[in-house]
Amino acid sequence: MIKLRYCSITLTIAALFAASTALSTGTPAEYATAKAQVKADLKADLKVCGNLKDNGKDVCKAQAHGKANVAQALIEYNYTGKAADANELVIVEAEATFAVATEFCDDKAGDAKSLCRTEAKAAYDKARADAKMSDKVSAAVKTATQEKHEADFSVAKAKCDSLAGEPQTACLNDAKARYGVH
């Protein structure tokens, strides 16, 4: 069943996340080293795949490339910390899982193969939809947070207006700093 195969792929991806501290890239040198390590790992994984035959070889190659692509996306996210890179990581994981699942489907024939591919495509589409939703939620949270800060600043400014002179100036400067108003 395709779900069992997804579990093994998911475990592989989870292992990559567990290893994310090893891939943590704070400096440009560490970033470059981590990217080089991913390339070396891919080369070694593909060498192992060379010993396999038929569809097993294709599955192995898809897993190796998927692992490398996910690791690259994880390195990028760890380096930048951007929400867009986190979203890209989710998409790359979905693509890797889909590629491996479709290779597994090639071992089947007829209706079973068709159903397998349909399930794989549905799982991929759901993961992409989740990534898209996550991106929209992040944007909404950012907007809501900004609106809350503006509202809080309005209240703080009104409180400061009851003061005069130096205390009022200090109060306004404090409110601007607290709520990120320039």
Question: 78-129, pLDDT tens digit by residue?
Answer: 888 888 888 888 899 999 999 999 998 988 999 999 999 999 999 899 888 8
Assess whether 155 and 111 both reside in one domain: no
Percent of the chain with pLDDT over 70: 86
Distance CA 117, CA 57 (A): 19
Contact indicator for 9, 59 with CB cutoff of 8 Å: no
Residue 103: closest CA among 66, 142, 135, 150: 66
CA-derived radius of gyration, the chain: 24
46 and 67 co-located in one domain = yes
The average pLDDT across 156-172 equals 93
Q: d(Cα 105, Cα 37) in Å, to the nearest integer?
A: 31
96 and 68 Cβ atoms separated by less than 8 Å: no
DSSP line for 143-156: HHHHHHHHHHHHHH
* Domain co-membership, 66 together with 146: no
In which band, very low, low, confident or very high, does the pLDDT at 64 lie, cut at 50, 70 and 90? very high
> What is the pTM for the complete model shown?
0.63
pLDDT (mean) for 26-45: 90
6 pLDDT more than 80: no
Given a cut of 50, whether residue 14 has pLDDT beyond it is no
150 shares a domain with 119: no
65 and 9 share a domain? yes
Q: What is the mean pLDDT of residues 15-35?
A: 66
9 and 36 assigned to the same domain: yes
Tokens 């079973």: give the residue.
112
Q: Does 164 lie in the same domain as 104?
A: no
Same domain, 95 and 169: no
The answer to whether residues 81 and 154 belong to one domain is no
**Do 108 and 88 reside in the same domain of the chain?**
yes
Are 146 and 125 in a shared domain? no
Please tell me whether residues 18 and 52 are part of one structural domain. Answer: yes
Residue type, 70: V
Count how many domains the chain has. 2
Write out the residue range of the structural domain in which residue 162 sits.
Answer: 142-179
